[in-house]
Amino acid sequence: MDVYNPYLREKQFAMRTITIALLIFSSQLVQAQSFQDFLGYLEGISDPSTQQTVVDSFFTALPEAPLLEFDTLAHFLYKGTASTVDVPGDFNGWDPGPGPLTKVGDTDMWYRTMIFEPNARLDYKYVLDGGNWILDPRNPHTCSGGFGPNSELAMPQYVQPWEIILQPAIPHGTIETFTFTSAALSGNYQVQVYLPPSYASHPDRFYPSIYVQDGQEYLSIGSAKNVLDNLIDEVLISEIVGVFIRPNNRNEEYAASKRTQYRAFIVDEMIPYIAEHYRVQETPESRAAIGTSFGANISAQIAFYHPEVVGKAGLHSPAFWPNNYETSTLLTQGGLKPIEWASVWGTYEGSVFQNMQIVMAVLQGLGYDFYGNFYPEGHSWGLWRATLDEILIELFPPGLVSTFGVDQEMEDRVVVYPNPAWPGQSLSFEGLAVSQAWLFNAQGQLIADISGGLRLPGSLPSGLYVLALADHSGQISRIRLCVAGG
């Protein structure tokens, strides 16, 4: 397959545009080279009935809205009975007040023309009569969010994210779901764990891991499972284990009175639990905290306060403003720590955009490994779902999966007989009830599954090997075995 470069967003997709050149109104051929020409034609019609007929024909010919022209013009169009029509969205802070649509004469046509960047992607809605919020009835394109769907404006050069689409023909990871009881927060939390495609078939592999705030939304709205599957299949990232955590009270846990307890929940409870029950690497550079908005705020704090545990942070549109910009102050004034940062935000995010420009410049000046990028978009899942790939590619490039490690604690507790052993000998264990066993060479390559009979292969070169031993609970321990000859 072709390798996709997320930094080159230049593919051409079908655009929601029409050339207003051949519209037939009541058997009359009308030449209009632009929407402004069309409005001029309408204004020149004195008969209201004929004017409405032309409007009806125009909307019949219009494939969908908004109507885009010249790469930068977006014409918001509404047809219907109303006293006022407003268009709040990412581009005006979702304020329905400024810039209402203009009604064309006595017709039922409303319009507003705005200028955007050629690759902008923005959410919006219509507000009728000052209080009735609706989707654009002529726009089939929507973007889901935490408060439901919005209509989506995608300018002609915007590239729709291929990686969020389910690809049935490629290998897929699996999702395991469980409830975790947190002592730090005195509550139960829904956790979903993504296991990469090779996890079940390669018990020798140990994976980097991500701890994702608002995990249920990253999976359901952000299509994170599809993103992981597709990036892994294209060898754009290492295979990783994804831990997606659903908050109980995100505002309090991510930005207010429970933020300290939430950090303890992740660092002291969740990460040790995952390390005990899944084959994940246990170094700070193999772990990342990821989140959006307030979730990015707490992810940054997790990494900053605990760099010995979490050495990477992926931040979507970080909302650092709570507690008088506490997190911004921590990062910019707290000194250099061994943390790698990757962040994406939008130019239509007001204070988030302004603050992150400053944070990025300061952290890069301090010597941090800080990747930052921004797009003409708003504070939206449309931005976050389309740039999760960018963050993952930056933090987890291919080649980070390790083949095995040795558990020193288990080596001290478990005795293998015989050790050294000879090829073909059966092994027995003291201190561990073994249900499955695999033998690996020193390079981490799987030599044999010896679960049935626990007997070494009959032909085996002398040297140092690693035994991966699973107990009846499924927990895997790794200990060394010396083979004496063969």
User: What domains appear along the chain, each with residue ranges and CATH number?
Assistant: 23-159 (2.60.40.10), 163-395 (3.40.50.1820), 408-483 (2.60.40)
Which H or E run includes 351?
Answer: helix 351-366
pLDDT at 165 over 80: yes
* 146 pLDDT tier (thresholds 50, 70, 90): confident
Q: What is the mean pLDDT of residues 202-223?
A: 94
Backbone angles phi, psi at 370, to 5 degrees: -125, 115
pLDDT number for residue 28: 44
The number of beta carbons lying within 10 Å of the beta carbon of residue 11 is 11
DSSP string, 281-321: --SGGGEEEEEETHHHHHHHHHHHH-TTT--EEEEES----
Angle between the 322-333 and 294-305 helix axes, to the nearest 10 degrees? 40
Q: Nearest CA to 393 among 133, 1, 8?
A: 8
pLDDT number for residue 11: 35
Sequence-separated (6 or more) residues with CB below 8 Å from residue 75: 35, 65, 66, 67, 68, 69, 111, 112, 113
* 407 pLDDT tier (thresholds 50, 70, 90): low
pLDDT number for residue 410: 75
Q: Nearest CA to 238 among 435, 124, 396?
A: 396
* 171 pLDDT tier (thresholds 50, 70, 90): very high
* 176 pLDDT tier (thresholds 50, 70, 90): very high
The number of beta carbons lying within 10 Å of the beta carbon of residue 150 is 26
Give, in order, the Cα–Cα distances in Å from 82 to each of 33, 85, 101, 132, 276: 29, 7, 11, 10, 61
pLDDT number for residue 471: 84
For residue range 14-31, list pLDDT tens digits in order: 334 445 544 434 334 455
pLDDT number for residue 402: 72
CA–CA distance, 241 with 392 (Å, rounded to integer): 12
CA–CA distance, 134 with 33 (Å, rounded to integer): 31
Q: Which parts of 221-293 fold into alpha helices (H)?
A: 224-233, 250-255, 259-264, 271-277
Tokens, residue 216: 């249920």
Q: What is the mean pLDDT of residues 20-47?
A: 70
Q: What is the mean pLDDT of residues 56-61?
A: 95
What's the distance, Cα to Cα, between the start and end of the chain in Å?
43
pLDDT at 371 over 80: yes
- How long, in residues, is the chain? 486
In the chain, % of residues over pLDDT 70: 91
Give, in order, the Cα–Cα distances in Å from 227 to each of 23, 145, 231, 374: 42, 18, 6, 20
pLDDT at 414 over 90: no
pLDDT number for residue 30: 52
CA–CA distance, 251 with 354 (Å, rounded to integer): 22
* 294 pLDDT tier (thresholds 50, 70, 90): very high
Query: How far, rounded to the nearest angstrom, does the alpha carbon of residue 269 sit from its chain's CA centroid?
Result: 24
pLDDT number for residue 313: 98
* 260 pLDDT tier (thresholds 50, 70, 90): very high
CA–CA distance, 237 with 389 (Å, rounded to integer): 9
pLDDT number for residue 432: 86
Q: What is the mean pLDDT of residues 225-247?
A: 98
For the ranges 156-165, 438-447, 456-465, 468-477, the lowest mean pLDDT is seen at 438-447
**Residue located via tokens 């939390």:** 189
pLDDT at 12 over 90: no
DSSP string, 368-405: -EEEEEEESB-SSHHHHHHHHHHHHHHHS-TT--B---
Q: What is the mean pLDDT of residues 217-237?
A: 98
What is the value of pTM for the model shown?
0.81
Q: Nearest CA to 99 among 117, 81, 86?
A: 86
Which H or E run includes 39?
Answer: helix 35-43
* 403 pLDDT tier (thresholds 50, 70, 90): low
Instruction: Determine contact, residues 375/344, Cβ cutoff 8 Å.
Output: yes
Which H or E run includes 113?
Answer: strand 109-115
pLDDT number for residue 236: 97
pLDDT at 445 over 90: no
| Strands 241-245 vs 209-212: parallel, antiparallel or unpaired | parallel
pLDDT at 397 over 70: yes
DSSP string, 406-425: --HHHHHH-EEESSSB-TT-
**Residue located via tokens 């885009």:** 68
Q: What is the mean pLDDT of residues 265-285?
A: 94
Using DSSP's 3-state secondary structure scheme, residue 343 falls into strand
Backbone angles phi, psi at 40, to 5 degrees: -60, -40
Tokens, residue 414: 């478990």
pLDDT at 159 over 60: yes
Averaged pLDDT score across all residues of the chain: 90
Q: What is the mean pLDDT of residues 464-472?
A: 85
pLDDT number for residue 24: 38
Q: What is the mean pLDDT of residues 280-291?
A: 94
